[in-house]
Amino acid sequence: MTLPRFYPIFDDFRWLERLLPLGVKLVQLRIKDTPEDIVRAAVIKAQALCRAQGAILVVNDYWQIAIDAGCDWIHLGQEDLDDSDIAAIRRAGLKLGLSTHDRAELDRALSFDPGYVALGPVYPTILKKMKWQEQGLEKLTEWKAVIGDIPLVAIGGMSVERAAGAFEAGADIVAAVTDITLNDDPEGRVRQWLGATA
Ligand SMILES: Cc1ncc(COP(=O)(O)OP(=O)(O)O)c(N)n1
Ligand SMILES: Cc1nc(C(=O)O)sc1CCOP(=O)(O)O
Ligand SMILES: [Mg+2]
């Protein structure tokens, strides 16, 4: 399966209600610091919205909720991997997207047979505090040479204007948060993204 090249990430299913109808076909629900029953309800809602629009939903962090809700994809970081039941995720048939930031993390990620590998932050991000400096485009090229056919996601400070460079460097997919959510016109920005990644 070839994954769509544009991968927006949102912290509320209401973003999906607004933006999936524009043609987004791959989306992550990334909810933090929220009671689990609210996350569960949001995942169920997001899953229904994605099914209705023919979009792929990736649930961040909450692997048990993703299993319970019948989702197809989960995204886990390296710390999340320590606390996850990978066998249960596999039994439920979910595919894994995994974060990587250095070569040791990449080697570890590859040992889980991931559905995609994310590398970040390619550029500085304002979304969250990270111990990692910006990785630069060259790192995407290096990662792609190692992972071959596994889809490579570029994340961190990505924008419509930066997407072409990431693709040229080896990314298959570009993920973005604040370039959309902090834009004065999120719908217009998503239309630009869809045009730039078509
Ligand atoms: C596509 C994508 N790449 C990286 C991340 C970050 O995951 P993680 O390191 O677990 O950090 P949190 O997002 O959980 O704060 C991601 N969510 N999606
Ligand atoms: C959630 C996340 N993970 C990253 C990583 O490098 O693993 S960078 C990032 C934030 C992405 O947000 P924005 O597009 O606003 O920079
Ligand atoms: Mg995580």
For the complex shown, is ipTM > 0.90? yes
- Gyration radius of the chain's alpha carbons: 16
Who lines ligand 2 at CB under 6 A? 99, 120-121, 125, 127-128, 155-158, 176-179
pLDDT tens string 18-50? 999 999 999 999 999 999 999 999 999 999 999
Query: Would you state the pLDDT for residue 33?
Result: 97
Query: Would you state the pLDDT for residue 1?
Result: 74
Ligand of minimum distance to the alpha carbon of 123:
2
Measured in Å, residue 54 CA sits from the centre of ligand 1 at 23
Sign of CA dihedral 125, 131, 133, 137: negative
Confidence (pTM): 0.98
Domains of the chain: 6-197 (3.20.20.70)
Rounded to whole angstroms, what are the CA distances from 158 to 9, 63, 107, 131? 12, 26, 24, 18
- Longest pairwise C-alpha distance within the chain: 43
